[in-house]
Structure 1
């Protein structure tokens, strides 16, 4: 199946020419579509550049060959564009959403997020997805007429809802933004946003297996119980019985990505044929996702996650590093809250005279924007003891 071959533009695809627009109207000015301009603005943002020094799973101390938050994002973009192309969707919108999906992640991966959320418990909590929206609507200050990147409605919607409707108590950043812009929080997002979400799953399932193998946290023999991995490995060994270990890793990842993309395209086409949506808004009103894995592949993908959780994300080597990293975030938050003079001058000015809750939110903004190495440098500047992340 040639999944990368471009399909004709689907009736249910998002259309930049029909976009609901931007919070601040702007002239077109060039030949790019609204969604292409969104993707380009994200690429040129400061928050995007900082992803290069934010942890995916392994701290940058571990070596140069493991994924960072940036390289993970680029892999998500590649998968998202491939799926969007095959389904006749807007590739630029899927790319923009893939580029933006982790902009709000604090340093030190999910350990940093858990600690920052705990620190912010009395002030509305912290959620990296909501923080991504805050980054593109408030924190990136590059334009003379407005804060944020002034992205299209469809890009804001996809950042907030790529995992589905937002229900229950809203995260702080989303609740604040909802007062300015109605993003249809009750509905499913566009098909392009759904593509970006499943591309994230595909990318981190495959690259975390690859990074875990390279780090020696588990071996190929331990993956034979995983249905999809077992099938791919058996074929590789049948064709190249003497293939060296490193090439087996590469071939395993390549074939798994191909298989997962192919399954998503076939299953999504089946669901769309069944639903017969007339346009992009019909996708939003369906009440369920149209982009997804088949039941068999969904079970295989769930098995990969179930394997990775204890064997990689909770591996003692990873946990020891992340616990120390969590202490860095906790220490910095407490210090900044107790002594705003510890903040850099530009951030200090932004918290002076504010309520405790508003001050905490700005400190969370500052911390969430830090890279791993900047956070460590700040900790070294403010404290006598230095954590050991190796």
Structure 2
């Protein structure tokens, strides 16, 4: 564990602030909000960020947005909301173990999927293709649009007016966007930085060429951990593969052997839960151990030293990185591209494309808040407004809109 001397208590700490490692983000030292607001008597900056995210319209919509399966497949599969809650739990666990700010890590976890479209990654791919001539669609950039522009809950500003640390963590969920010499990183080498991020960067510098805080790094890894665990669970529940098939992944075979040794002949449902629990535990414990070693080697004096480190300080070991790659390599053909799922994916993509095409031709058929004045916009701004509207839809609402506008709507089952 980090040396006790690496934990300090700010004598001028804000309400709710606890002991933190010196390299943790501290609410009392936040770079603040774009629009200055009076402080709260009961909550610090990061706690207010978390609460604003939870009470947002976009957060509520996650209940009816799908991860991999559409919700009509069954009540027990993950939605964006249940996934988000699982990510938040893991992020808090990592932050607590590493002496980080739990509230900031939780806020980032709760907000990380706000920009996703209906129908999971299928919807995003379809909308990105529709927006190809207008800058494309990126769910991280859409999350930024939601929390800085699209939410309209406050009299004094659009968006949620989150802290600098929260916005930085959301934008750099997958690492820096720019190289030290100012060029787009490999992820954005072909497409360029999404316009929503470029435009916001002109208003507030989010340090796009640095890594995010350790709290943001913890939230990003929590997302990976939750994905692996719950996709295994959902795939088994759906009958896309069996426990025996998972033995193709050495890491999972070892865990299955352990379960069989401790609980011979265990029924499938309990064995599945034992496996998922062990996957999460192994990954979380690995992140804690590896991160403690990286932090000790770097000896960062503050949160900015973590940002300037040149590499993440919250990370998997090489062995768990290998397990992560092998799990994803198994899930890709056996779940994400399974013939049953592929049929649903195609139908869902058709729904998104149909809606975009119809709204582009006759934007006035969108509800008043979206359709009013859309026909007078130039093509790029009109397309972005349509993308904002479609991206905010739940699976159910997208299907309802398709039924309203078309004679036949595909069954997503």
TM-score band, normalised by the shorter chain?
Answer: over 0.9
What SS does the corresponding residue of 1:224 show, helix, strand or coil?
helix
Match of 1:186 in 2: 209
**Does the alignment pair 1:210 with 2:221?**
no
**Does the alignment pair 1:376 with 2:399?**
yes
**Does the alignment pair 1:76 with 2:99?**
no
Separation in structure 1 between the aligned mates of residue 54 and residue 240 of structure 2, nearest angstrom: 33
Contact 2:122–2:348 (Cα < 8 Å) also in 1:
yes
**Does the alignment pair 1:225 with 2:225?**
no
Contact 1:350–1:362 (Cα < 8 Å) also in 2:
no
Deviation at 1:131, TM superposition (A): 0.2
> Where in structure 2 are the equivalents of 1:141-152 lying within 5 Å?
141-152=152-163
Q: Unpaired segments of 5 or more residues in structure 2?
A: 2-6, 8-18, 179-183, 185-191
Match of 1:4 in 2: none
Deviation at 1:16, TM superposition (A): 0.5
Deviation at 1:142, TM superposition (A): 0.2
Separation in structure 2 between the aligned mates of residue 190 and residue 201 of structure 1, nearest angstrom: 17
> Where in structure 2 are the equivalents of 1:1-390 lying within 5 Å?
9-167=20-178, 168=184, 169-349=192-372, 351-390=374-413
Deviation at 1:225, TM superposition (A): 2.4
Contact 1:84–1:94 (Cα < 8 Å) also in 2:
yes
What SS does the corresponding residue of 1:22 show, helix, strand or coil?
coil
Contact 1:61–1:389 (Cα < 8 Å) also in 2:
yes
What SS does the corresponding residue of 1:286 show, helix, strand or coil?
coil
Q: How large is the RMSD of aligned CA atoms in angstroms?
A: 1.1
Separation in structure 1 between the aligned mates of residue 260 and residue 102 of structure 2, nearest angstrom: 35
What SS does the corresponding residue of 1:37 show, helix, strand or coil?
helix
Q: Unpaired segments of 5 or more residues in structure 1?
A: 2-6
Deviation at 1:353, TM superposition (A): 2.4
Deviation at 1:260, TM superposition (A): 0.6
Deviation at 1:83, TM superposition (A): 0.4
Separation in structure 1 between the aligned mates of residue 407 and residue 168 of structure 2, nearest angstrom: 44
What SS does the corresponding residue of 2:407 show, helix, strand or coil?
coil
Deviation at 1:230, TM superposition (A): 1.4
Q: Deviations over 1:235-294 (max 9, x none)?
A: 111111022110111111111111110000000000011111110000000110111110
Deviation at 1:385, TM superposition (A): 1.2
TM-score by length of 2: 0.92
Q: Deviations over 1:320-346 (max 9, x none)?
A: 101100000000001001001210111
Contact 2:23–2:306 (Cα < 8 Å) also in 1:
yes
TM-score by length of 1: 0.97
Separation in structure 1 between the aligned mates of residue 91 and residue 265 of structure 2, nearest angstrom: 34
Deviation at 1:352, TM superposition (A): 4.3
Separation in structure 2 between the aligned mates of residue 242 and residue 223 of structure 1, nearest angstrom: 17
Contact 1:126–1:172 (Cα < 8 Å) also in 2:
no
Size of the aligned set, in residue pairs, is 385
Deviation at 1:350, TM superposition (A): 5.2
Contact 1:51–1:68 (Cα < 8 Å) also in 2:
yes
Separation in structure 2 between the aligned mates of residue 105 and residue 373 of structure 1, nearest angstrom: 15
Separation in structure 2 between the aligned mates of residue 330 and residue 113 of structure 1, nearest angstrom: 11
Contact 2:117–2:123 (Cα < 8 Å) also in 1:
yes
CA distance 1:170–1:94, shift in 2 (3 Å)? same
Separation in structure 2 between the aligned mates of residue 310 and residue 203 of structure 1, nearest angstrom: 19
Contact 2:364–2:374 (Cα < 8 Å) also in 1:
no
What SS does the corresponding residue of 2:353 show, helix, strand or coil?
helix
Contact 2:233–2:272 (Cα < 8 Å) also in 1:
yes
